[in-house]
Structure 1
Amino acid sequence: MWTYADRAEDGTFTRIGGGDLDAATGHWSQGAYNADDISRTAIVFLRAHSAFRDNADLATARELLRTLTYLQVTSGQNAGNVVLWMQPDGALNRSAIPIELLDPSDSDESYWLARTVWALGESIAVFAAVDPDFTAFLVERLHLALTALERASLGRYGQWDSADGVPVPGWVIAGGADATGEAVLGLAAALTVRPDDERVAQALDRYAEGIEAMPSGAVGVWPFGAIMPWTGSQSLWHAWGGLAPAALAVASAVTGRGLDAAVADVGVFTPQLLTSGGPHNAWSPVPGESQIAYGVQSRIESLLRTADVTGGEGLRELAALVAGWFFGANPAGEPVYDPATGVTVDGIEPDGRLNRNSGAESTIHALLAMIALDQDRDLARTARSLNGTPEVHGMQWLPAESAQLSGDAAVVTPESAWTGESNWRGSSVLAGDGGTVRFTLDAEALAAVSAGGATAHPLIHRLAEDAGVAHWSAIDAAGARTVLGTLELGGAGDPGVTEWDGVLRPVRLDVPIPAGAVAIEVIAEGRLELDELMLLPAVTTAELAVERGDSLTLHVASADAKLALVPGQTGSVYRADGMRVGPANRGRRSVPAGAFAITRR
């Protein structure tokens, strides 16, 4: 399974490895194949066999699993760990160039160890019914992987760390709920056929407990209940963590907990994700970066797995809207998956350009999505009917450097956008005592405030130590002021396991922006580091075009509100768990905070 496939102008592809090629040896400075992609490819063929009962898929999965376990260390102090890279001739490369963490790659637990657990667990569930001998080998290797995890993260069970004053579990794999979630999917699968395996059950329970501790925000509060993927940041959500809610939903049948966290992620955060412009690869904390198949498929699987537990059909409807991304309902307005060949583009850039290369990761996650769609024809029919770039009206970000400054306030530009745990969005404003920043609301912001209300969320760098306060007000055309709130500029808490002093994160002001406001102003009484002002409408929307000229609209409520429906627009309102609340139409259009509606016209 080659890692990358570069596309030529004539549409053909060249398989390449990672890093630079040594023509004399045929080796790449990283390698040709890697454990991450071998693991996930095995899962593709395992799931294909389970869905379609083609024995050729099972045979392919077997050989991929043999390759994967060849990469696993079998003895010594690193027993159970996994080498990441393999060369075309089968040689293993434990230390890649450029240097990666981990180095050597089999020196500790890792994302590729977590994905090995995922593949081994799903393979045990499949092979148990057809090949007891091979299953016994897979169980042996899963237990070997647990030996490595017990030396590392599982050995820290019960240890809590701090991330900018927030308690975070010290026993998730490689510090990530993202990696841990993928391992949990494998552990849960193995338990379906080996319910008495106490070692697997204990690991599942403890890892699920760690993931359950990672949600952040709430309805109307950034990041809206998303499960944070990394203990090292309270400001960064990325799409690679998207399978954590799926893991919690699946594990809840065994552990009896975690479902609420899964529901918040899929039923509160995902709708906000879609109305912010789609499944961006990262919110850091402003939504941005490319959109990739991995992030899209993770959303689909998490929605469907959670719907399986809650019975909420609204989550399946959401999954169909997400899946439309593959067929043209995306920022490029073009299909990114070719059903004739399986080719899937490597991503859509923020400006809508397609990266037409087709690496292993994109292909893998597209195929996982397609297997799920093929098992739910109604979902597939809706997804394939969606086309064209969605029209979104979601959160709005007003840059501080473009606002009106007075007093002790000046624009500053960081040397690097990356802080070690988040990203500045361009320049920012540093204001001292009496410094003032005034944002004039543009037409889109005025429309959101007048239509149904909105809340203000300043994106500030809140320091660990005391740094004073900032007073926020809304101003109407006559100059009258409404106090929106006062924010502490310090007191974020000890950085703990994070790399930066303080946290860059939107903070909601208590009072909604009143109708008639034309500007929002802040006066510093201390040290204010202000990057953006985020405005969140009470109802955000994403309208997707459907074949035959119809459209589907997703409405997301961050506060109790009424939907602005047009004649002929009808549908249903759902709770975050996907259960239907009632109809959405001209006669009944109220939605409670945290609910979403899907309408058609």
Structure 2
Amino acid sequence: MSFPAPDYRHLARLSDDTGLFEHARHAVVRRHHGYCTDDVARGLVVASREQRPSRRLTRLAECYLAFLTHAQDGSGAFRNRLTFDRRWRDEPGVGDWWGRAMWGLGTAAARNHSPWIREEARLAFALGAVRRSPHPRAMVFAGLGAAEILRTAPDDDVAAALLKDAAGAIGAPSEDPSWPWPQPSLTYANAALAEVVIAAGDLSGDRQQLDTGLHMLTWLCAVQTENDRLRVVPATGRRPGTPPDRYDQQPIEVAALADACAVAALATGEPSWQKGVRRAAAWFQGRNDAGVPMWDPATGGGYDGLTEHGPNLNQGAESTLALISTMQHAGRLS
């Protein structure tokens, strides 16, 4: 199966000179929902991964970076929600949005094509890296940003300390062979947990930690694959001993799995991990439980979820960014 190149048309449609709108009704922006740091950070990740960005994509990256630096306070924490009239609805904190902001900043600092973006992102990342979150997933997302920094600056002690703490925040995998997962349930962005353990082991030279992360990802891929197609954990999650629901499957789960498999392939040099990336890209193309495409070729937008009645036709930021991220990885397959 061939996969389309990443399509940024809908991402541009969702963006203005302030940031990235969170929601859309079908392909039309719902401005009254405003912006959130979570999605702007995801936007900075995908924009910074492009090695030959267009002028429009560079402008989007600049916009997203300006949003994040505006959201950040002097302690390194971030606000999350901004209304359409540019009023913050919350106080700075270190929830998931802090972690995703750190992921976006770390990716921009390490990979963005423009040196001025890399420099500003590095300063904001360093400020945020002094903080820690009590929430494991927030730490995981921040750890992914730290890993990006370390791949280009292996002597960065601040990033190394953050990545180490991020992997430690997950906890040890269960000794139950039927549930070798460090948490009592699968919830959201699950593969990111395995990815940060893999990255921590690979970048520190800790083979045991690397193997732990690879084992976690192997199990997660197995429980989310049936008949060589993905059936990812739905929005309701999954617990041991209970039959999994088939719906509502979320694009963020598919993208997280593609991210983790791409990092596993990078860490091990084993092409077999590319199967996970192919399955993720194929899920968007229609190789899923409903047999329907999960994106709109007319707009370039990703659909918000796979329900028992077919795709949720709304094309919000999270799902569109999940589509773009997955196709970025698919485009690099050998």
Tell me the TM-score range normalised by the shorter chain: 0.7 to 0.9
Q: Secondary structure at the match of 1:205?
A: helix
- The residue number in structure 2 matching 1:197 is 156
1:279 aligns with 2:235: no
| CA distance in structure 2 between the aligned counterparts of 1:130 and 1:356, rounded to whole angstroms | 35
Alignment of 1:101-250 (within 5 A): 104=91, 106=92, 108-127=93-112, 130-131=114-115, 134-147=117-130, 149=131, 153=132, 173-176=133-136, 178-211=137-170, 213-216=171-174, 219=177, 221=178, 223=179, 225-228=180-183, 234=184, 236-250=185-199
Amino acid aligned to 2:150: L
| CA distance in structure 1 between the aligned counterparts of 2:30 and 2:299, rounded to whole angstroms | 19
Which deviations, in whole Å up to 9, do the C-alpha atoms of 1:407-437 show, x marking residues without a partner?
Answer: xxxxxxxxxxxxxxxxxxxxxxxxxxxxxxx
Q: Secondary structure at the match of 1:116?
A: helix
Q: In the superposition, relative to structure 1, how do residues 122 and 247 fare at CA in structure 2: closer, same or farther (>3 Å)?
A: same
Return the structure number with greater helix share: 2
- The residue number in structure 1 matching 2:25 is 6
Q: How far is 1:3 from its partner?
A: 0.8
Q: Which of 36, 42, 54 is the aligned partner of 2:38?
A: 36
Q: In the superposition, relative to structure 1, how do residues 366 and 214 fare at CA in structure 2: closer, same or farther (>3 Å)?
A: farther
Amino acid aligned to 1:278: R
Which deviations, in whole Å up to 9, do the C-alpha atoms of 1:3-34 show, x marking residues without a partner?
Answer: 11112xxxxx33225xxxxxxxxxx5xx5000
Q: How far is 1:84 from its partner?
A: 0.8
Alignment of 1:435-584 (within 5 A): none
| CA distance in structure 2 between the aligned counterparts of 1:91 and 1:272, rounded to whole angstroms | 43
- The residue number in structure 1 matching 2:270 is 312
Q: How far is 1:279 from its partner?
A: 0.5
Q: How far is 1:53 from its partner?
A: 4.3
Q: How far is 1:259 from its partner?
A: 1.3
Q: How far is 1:251 from its partner?
A: 2.6
Q: In the superposition, relative to structure 1, how do residues 218 and 300 fare at CA in structure 2: closer, same or farther (>3 Å)?
A: farther
Amino acid aligned to 1:34: C
Which deviations, in whole Å up to 9, do the C-alpha atoms of 1:324-380 show, x marking residues without a partner?
Answer: 21111112111112345222111112x35321111111011111001111122x6xx
CA contact (8 A) 2:166 2:196 kept: no
Q: Secondary structure at the match of 1:348?
A: strand
Unaligned runs of 5+ in 2: 1-19
Amino acid aligned to 1:250: A
Q: How far is 1:322 from its partner?
A: 3.4
Return the structure number with greater strand share: 1
CA contact (8 A) 2:45 2:108 kept: yes
| CA distance in structure 2 between the aligned counterparts of 1:191 and 1:45, rounded to whole angstroms | 19
- The residue number in structure 1 matching 2:204 is 255
Amino acid aligned to 2:238: W
CA RMSD of aligned residues (A): 2.3
Amino acid aligned to 1:208: A
- The residue number in structure 2 matching 1:543 is none
Q: Secondary structure at the match of 2:121?
A: helix
CA contact (8 A) 1:118 1:182 kept: yes
Q: Secondary structure at the match of 1:283?
A: coil
| CA distance in structure 1 between the aligned counterparts of 2:210 and 2:176, rounded to whole angstroms | 15
Name the count of aligned residue pairs. 306
Structure showing greater radius of gyration is 1
Q: How far is 1:205 from its partner?
A: 1.9
Q: How far is 1:187 from its partner?
A: 0.6
CA contact (8 A) 2:106 2:149 kept: yes
CA contact (8 A) 2:44 2:105 kept: no
CA contact (8 A) 1:326 1:336 kept: yes
CA contact (8 A) 1:227 1:245 kept: no
Q: How far is 1:41 from its partner?
A: 0.7
Q: Which moved more, 1:64-73 or 1:197-206?
A: 197-206
| CA distance in structure 2 between the aligned counterparts of 1:210 and 1:331, rounded to whole angstroms | 34
With structure 2 as the length reference, what TM-score do the two structures score? 0.83
Q: How far is 1:217 from its partner?
A: 5.2
Q: In the superposition, relative to structure 1, how do residues 53 and 34 fare at CA in structure 2: closer, same or farther (>3 Å)?
A: closer
Q: Which of 315, 321, 325 is the aligned partner of 1:358?
A: 315
| CA distance in structure 2 between the aligned counterparts of 1:122 and 1:358, rounded to whole angstroms | 24
With structure 1 as the length reference, what TM-score do the two structures score? 0.48
1:16 aligns with 2:1: no
Q: In the superposition, relative to structure 1, how do residues 35 and 293 fare at CA in structure 2: closer, same or farther (>3 Å)?
A: same
- The residue number in structure 1 matching 2:54 is 54
- The residue number in structure 1 matching 2:12 is none
Q: Percent identity?
A: 23
CA contact (8 A) 2:72 2:78 kept: yes
Q: In the superposition, relative to structure 1, how do residues 267 and 73 fare at CA in structure 2: closer, same or farther (>3 Å)?
A: same
CA contact (8 A) 2:95 2:135 kept: no
Amino acid aligned to 1:83: R
CA contact (8 A) 1:346 1:357 kept: yes
1:91 aligns with 2:87: yes
Q: In the superposition, relative to structure 1, how do residues 296 and 135 fare at CA in structure 2: closer, same or farther (>3 Å)?
A: closer
- Between 1 and 2, higher relative CO (CA 8 Å, sep ≥ 6) is seen in 2
Q: How far is 1:114 from its partner?
A: 0.5
| CA distance in structure 2 between the aligned counterparts of 1:317 and 1:35, rounded to whole angstroms | 32
Q: How far is 1:63 from its partner?
A: 1.8
Q: Which of 73, 80, 103 is the aligned partner of 2:76?
A: 80
Amino acid aligned to 1:66: A
Which deviations, in whole Å up to 9, do the C-alpha atoms of 1:85-141 show, x marking residues without a partner?
Answer: 1111222211xxxxxxxxx4x1x31110111110111111124x742x554432221
- The residue number in structure 1 matching 2:257 is 299
Amino acid aligned to 2:271: E
| CA distance in structure 1 between the aligned counterparts of 2:316 and 2:146, rounded to whole angstroms | 27
| CA distance in structure 1 between the aligned counterparts of 2:327 and 2:54, rounded to whole angstroms | 16
Q: In the superposition, relative to structure 1, how do residues 315 and 217 fare at CA in structure 2: closer, same or farther (>3 Å)?
A: farther
Q: In the superposition, relative to structure 1, how do residues 130 and 6 fare at CA in structure 2: closer, same or farther (>3 Å)?
A: closer
Amino acid aligned to 1:201: A
